[in-house]
Amino acid sequence: MKMGFYFYIVCCFLIFFSKASTTIDTISRSESLTDGKTLVSNGGSFALGFFSPDTSNSNNRYLGIWYHNDPNQTVVWVANRINPINGSTGVLKIESSGKIVLQVQNTTAVWSTNSTVSVEDPVLQLLDSGNLVLRDGNDINPENHLWQSFDYPSDTMLPGMKIGVDLRTSFDRRLSAWKNWDDPSPGDLTYGVELEGSPEMVLMKGLEKYYLTGLWIGSGFSGVRDVRSNPIFDYDFVWNETEIYFTFSLKSKSLMSRVVLNQTESVRKRYTWNPESQTWELFSMRPSDYCDRYGLCGPNGNCDYNKLPVCQCLTGFRPKWPKRWNTSEYSGGCIHIKPLNCQTGDEFITIRRVKSPAITNPWVHKTMNLKECKAECSRNCSCMAYSNLDVTGGDGSGCAMWFGDLVDIKQFQSDSDGMDLYIRVSASETELKKKAKVKLAIILAPVIAALLGLLLVVCYIRGTRRKLEDEVEDKNLEDKENKDENEDMELAVFEFDTIIQATDTFSFRNKLGEGGFGPVYKGTLANGQEIAVKRLSKSSGQGLNEFKNEVKLIAKLQHRNLVRLLGCCIHGEERMLVYEYMPNGSLDSFIFDQTRREELTWYFGMARTFGGDQTEANTNKIVGTYGYMAPEYAIDGLFSVKSDVFSFGIVLLEVISGRKNRGFYHANQSGNLIEHIWRLWTEGKPSDAAYEFLAETGDVPELLRSIHISLLCVQQHPEERPSMSSVVLMLGSHNELPSPKQPGFLFYNKPFEAYPSPDNNESSSRNEISLSTFEAR
Ligand SMILES: *[C@@H]1O[C@H](CO)[C@@H](O)[C@H](O)[C@H]1NC(C)=O
Ligand SMILES: *[C@@H]1O[C@H](CO)[C@@H](O)[C@H](O)[C@H]1NC(C)=O
Ligand SMILES: *[C@@H]1O[C@H](CO)[C@@H](O)[C@H](O)[C@H]1NC(C)=O
Ligand SMILES: *[C@@H]1O[C@H](CO)[C@@H](O)[C@H](O)[C@H]1NC(C)=O
Ligand SMILES: *[C@@H]1O[C@H](CO)[C@@H](O)[C@H](O)[C@H]1NC(C)=O
Ligand SMILES: *[C@@H]1O[C@H](CO)[C@@H](O)[C@H](O)[C@H]1NC(C)=O
Ligand SMILES: *[C@@H]1O[C@H](CO)[C@@H](O)[C@H](O)[C@H]1NC(C)=O
Ligand SMILES: *[C@@H]1O[C@H](CO)[C@@H](O)[C@H](O)[C@H]1NC(C)=O
């Protein structure tokens, strides 16, 4: 009996095993593959067989390759894209000529390969990479492929595929989107390398360039944010005498990632497989934002997502058609303000951190250095710009030159993105640049005023309510700021050695984070004082005096609720800012964090850290950030003192609700934070606006009063908002307050999120937009 049982088990096992081993990955000449049968690659990753994109509605059958383990059988390759088979009558065979033929029973071929090498023992094999290959069974080298599906990609790029051109044969491998979700025939959206273009990838819509990645600059494409640190895939761009192609590989065999084009959305998307949820997750999308659209700002325009309007003329240029430019019609682009004069001498100015302009018929030189590149460009009067071709390895190498208009430039913020471009301008342009600096200082004044407003609330919330003494002091500070711009401040200048010792030579362990303008390190001075050192990028191109002036400007913003700037350090090209160290980071890292915020009560013991920017570049961008901008400013560009009051109102609402105005989501309501709070207000339950913990632990009448005041601050019309000094009075007293009218709801997201902005792993980061910052660059 027992023996019998074991026998039964063993039999079952054998049957199971023999069944499992019947999955095959090859067919030879005498065999064929009919509809209903599949080949499964050796490792079980991919399957080849017949499928219908839309099983319910049509008889159309296609031969394709799909992920074997994906329950949705995501198709990655289709043979007969334009010739579907009507019904399940398709047969795949290998002919003696070495051709792979897909036919309808014994009749017409709907698809075949062009290979004409006749071999005695042809073998068709589905590899575990998803590549379907034809090889000679007698060839001992399994890498010798007579034909491979990777050379004829459909809409999907798999690891190991090369998308690009073989220069010897002009053989072009490019992706082309499915026409529709139920029609695999090629749409007009394609992705590949343009032969008459520069070394970069191009998304084409028909014959039009739609999105360019920007030049390959060694570490990546100049128009794409660096994602090399991702845990899933690596990528490379090969560009030599024989080939130009893009390829990617997985960091581990167990991972899955694919790039796919979508005709309907006109995008190239990258998905990665999430084994836990068993779903594909969107990793990145191109174009990823408004500025990615090819040539959006016209010739010599620079698309800057953080500016209003997004299209700016390059330095030294002005709109060709100013009226149209003012109505967001940018196609005319920009022209030189001062005509060039090659003979008497033009100059080159640096445009930092941009995506390279598009080049057709590029002039590129791989070994020239930047100096030689400049000399070469200066010599030729039609050379409008130059740059390094490879920015990796310290000084960079190679030379690219642009002739004619500069098109498709996009501005990046972070030092790790984009490249530096040197553009030709009239020698007199440098004068203009200096004026622009002065202008910046004028723009900064309201920013500072608003920041001072911001810290008033913090004072209030702390419960110290030292009444107006402090505020008067602040006011004085503000006035002082506005009046004596030129008065010298005492500011420590630290020795470079001191900084080196304090930060242990910028040791990785001491790195606190990376802001928009460079990494920040923690350090300890010899006297035990802890500091935070912001290391600005080396090649900021900023003059010494400009830097010092900006530092002085920041230094004037001293208040106990703002992180204190202790001084600066200048060493060769390096510029560093030294701040006092804030062990707990910035307030926003508390109030927008579900758990951390409970560490703070209404009395906000930690409030002094608000405004600290040692770990976040964004905290000091509050005022120019869309979520905080007053409607008249965001829409019409009109700015007044009352615009700051609006921003202040938003900050106060955010502090109370623990939610961001921008990126506000509520389960069953649309709209933004103001709208949400206004709704609660009109429904007579304003205290629901405060996040639970705060409502429980706080002083409810004070909370309600703060909400009331915030609503007054965010009124649509500037004249209906109180002045900042009235706000101070209101916060500090119990006088009756006027009733708020409906505030200015602003749907900040709309015009700018026609393209979802999250790209890659930045999706979790902030996507606020800053207009102007007071930070030294
Ligand atoms: C497909 O075959 C079915 C039945 O064989 C036939 O009724 C139908 O007309 C065919 N469709 C096309 C598009 O040829
Ligand atoms: C296809 O051809 C083979 C051999 O010539 C024959 O045995 C088979 O019946 C044919 N099938 C059809 C559907 O005509
Ligand atoms: C075979 O060659 C023709 C003409 O060169 C081409 O249009 C077709 O795409 C090729 N077929 C395959 C499967 O490569
Ligand atoms: C393209 O995207 C749309 C919208 O997300 C989707 O419905 C469609 O299935 C996609 N098309 C393809 C071919 O994947
Ligand atoms: C071009 O690069 C590819 C990939 O690295 C390499 O196989 C090929 O030999 C290179 N060709 C030349 C001429 O260097
Ligand atoms: C399969 O398709 C369904 C419905 O479209 C979708 O919800 C699910 O996420 C898909 N699964 C995978 C693995 O893509
Ligand atoms: C465009 O707008 C700017 C700023 O509002 C203004 O100074 C300029 O005069 C306008 N130009 C035209 C032609 O309307
Ligand atoms: C400048 O460069 C362009 C493009 O390479 C070339 O056609 C032209 O002849 C050059 N002009 C001079 C004066 O060298």
CA-to-CA separations, 446 to 63, 116, 440, 579, 623, in angstroms, rounded: 65, 74, 11, 23, 9
In sequence order, the β-bridge partners of residue 419 are 354
Note the pLDDT of residue 604: 78
**What is the number of the ligand 6 atom nearest to the C-alpha of 72?**
1
The model's confidence at residue 564, banded by pLDDT at 50, 70 and 90, is confident
Question: Hunting for tokens 């064929």 — which residue is that?
Answer: 32
CA-closest residue to ligand 3 atom 13: 113
Centroid of ligand 1 to alpha carbon of 76 (angstroms): 27
Residue 106 CB–ligand 2 contact under 6 Å = yes
315-344 pLDDT, tens digit each: 999 999 999 998 889 999 999 998 898 887
* Predicted pLDDT at 487: 40
Q: Which of 551-555, 605-609, 633-637, 656-660 has the lowest mean pLDDT?
A: 605-609
Q: How far apart are CA 121 and CA 75, in angstroms?
A: 29
Atom of ligand 3 nearest to the CA of 112: 13
* Atom from ligand 2 closest to the CA of residue 105: 13
Q: For atom 9 of ligand 1, which residue has the closest CA? A: 86
Domain residue ranges in the chain: 22-152, 163-288, 295-432, 475-580, 588-731
Ligand index nearest the alpha carbon of residue 72 = 6
Q: What percent of the chain has pLDDT over 70?
A: 71
d(CA 527, CA 520): 20
Which ligand is the nearest neighbour of the Cα of 184? Answer: 4
Q: Which atom of ligand 1 is nearest to the CA of 59?
A: 1
Helix (H) or strand (E) holding 269: strand 267-274
User: How far away, in angstroms, is 165 Cα from ligand 5 center?
Assistant: 13
Evaluate: CB of 322 within 6 angstroms of ligand 7.
yes
Closest Cα to atom 4 of ligand 5: 238
CB atoms within 10 A of CB 94: 23
How much is the mean pLDDT over the chain? 78
What is the percent of the chain where pLDDT is above 90? 39
For 692, counting Cβ atoms within 10 Å of its Cβ (0-12 exposed, 13-18 middle, 19+ buried), the class is exposed
Residue 611 DSSP SS3: coil
CATH topology of domain 588-731: Transferase(Phosphotransferase); domain 1 (1.10.510)
Enumerate the H helices of 637-718 as residue ranges: 641-657, 673-682, 692-697, 700-713
Higher per-residue confidence, 155 vs 508:
155
Q: Is 113 in the pocket of ligand 3 (CB under 6 A)?
A: yes
Which is more confident, 642 or 407?
407
pLDDT at 239: 92
Lowest mean pLDDT among 45-54, 222-231, 496-505, 605-614: 605-614
Give the integer Cα–Cα distance in Å for 3 and 248. 54
- Mutation choice for ligand 1 from 60, 61, 86, CB with most ligand atoms inside 8 A: 86
User: 114 C-alpha vs ligand 3 centroid, how far in Å?
Assistant: 6
Question: CA angle, 713 as apex, 710 and 714 as ends, to 5°?
Answer: 95
Task: Indicate which residue's Cα is closest to atom 1 of ligand 8.
Answer: 380
Both tokens of 343, joined, read: 């003979």
* Lowest-confidence region among 275-289, 306-320, 394-408, 602-616: 602-616
Give residue 638's pLDDT band: very low, low, confident or very high (50, 70, 90).
low
| Among protein residues, the one whose CA lies closest to atom 12 of ligand 3 | 113
Position in ligand 6 atom list of the atom nearest CA 70: 13
- Residue given tokens 């984009």 in the structure block: 418
Q: Is the CB of 323 under 6 A from ligand 7?
A: yes
What's the length of the chain? 777
What fold, for 22-152?
Answer: Agglutinin, subunit A (2.90.10)
For ligand 6, mutation pick of 73, 256, 279 (most atoms within 8 Å of CB): 279
pLDDT tens figures, 607-627: 322 333 322 223 332 233 445
The reply to whether ligand 1 has any atom less than 6 angstroms from the CB of 88 is: no
Confidence of residue 686 (pLDDT cuts 50, 70, 90): confident
In a mutational test of the pocket of ligand 3, which residue from 114, 134, 174 has the highest number of ligand atoms less than 8 Å from its CB? 114
282 pLDDT band (50/70/90 cuts)? very high
Query: 309: pLDDT confidence band, cut at 50, 70 and 90?
Result: confident
What one-character-per-residue DSSP string does 207-250 give? TEEEEE---B-SSSBTTS---TT-SSEEEEEEESSSEEEEEEEE
For ligand 8, atom 8: residue with the closest CA? 380
More reliable by pLDDT, 81 or 574 = 81
Reported confidence tier of residue 636, pLDDT bands at 50, 70, 90: low
Residue with the bigger pLDDT between 620 and 479: it is: 479
Structure confidence at residue 490 as a pLDDT band (50, 70, 90): low
Cβ of 280 less than 6 Å from ligand 6: yes
Q: What is the pLDDT of residues 226-237, one digit of tens each?
A: 888 899 999 999
Q: Does any ligand 2 atom lie closer than 6 A to the CB of residue 105?
A: yes
pLDDT at 515: 55
For ligand 6, the distance from its centroid to the CA atom of residue 274, given in whole angstroms, is 12
pLDDT at position 493 = 82
Read off the pLDDT band of 630 (50, 70, 90). low
Q: Band the pLDDT of 472: cuts 50, 70, 90.
A: very low
Give ∠ CA 362-363-364 in degrees, rounded to 5: 105
Q: 663 vs 618, which has greater pLDDT?
A: 663
Q: What is the pTM of this model?
A: 0.61
Query: What is the pLDDT at residue 709?
Result: 92
The number of the ligand 5 atom at minimal distance from the alpha carbon of 243 is: 1
Nearest CA to ligand 1 atom 14: 86
Ligand nearest to the CA of 63: 3
Distance (Å) from CA 406 to ligand 7 centroid: 24
According to the model, what pLDDT value does residue 139 have? 86
The structure tokens listed for 165 are: 């051109």
C-alpha 113 to ligand 1 mean position (Å):
26
φ and ψ at residue 472, rounded to 5 degrees:
-60, -40
- Ligand 8: residue of 343, 365, 380, 384 to mutate (most ligand atoms within 8 A of CB) is 380
Question: Is the separation of the CB atoms in 328 and 319 below 8 Å?
Answer: no
Q: Is the pLDDT of residue 543 over 50?
A: yes
Residue 441 has pLDDT above 60, yes or no: no
Question: Does the C-beta of 670 come closer than 6 Å to ligand 5?
Answer: no
pLDDT tens digits along 173-207: 999 999 999 999 999 999 999 888 788 999 999 99
CATH topology of domain 475-580: Phosphorylase Kinase; domain 1 (3.30.200)
Nearest protein CA to atom 6 of ligand 1, as residue: 86
The tokens describing 591, both together, are: 């109030």
CA 166–ligand 5 middle distance (angstroms): 10
Specify burial of residue 159 (Cβ count, 10 A radius: 0-12, 13-18, 19+).
buried
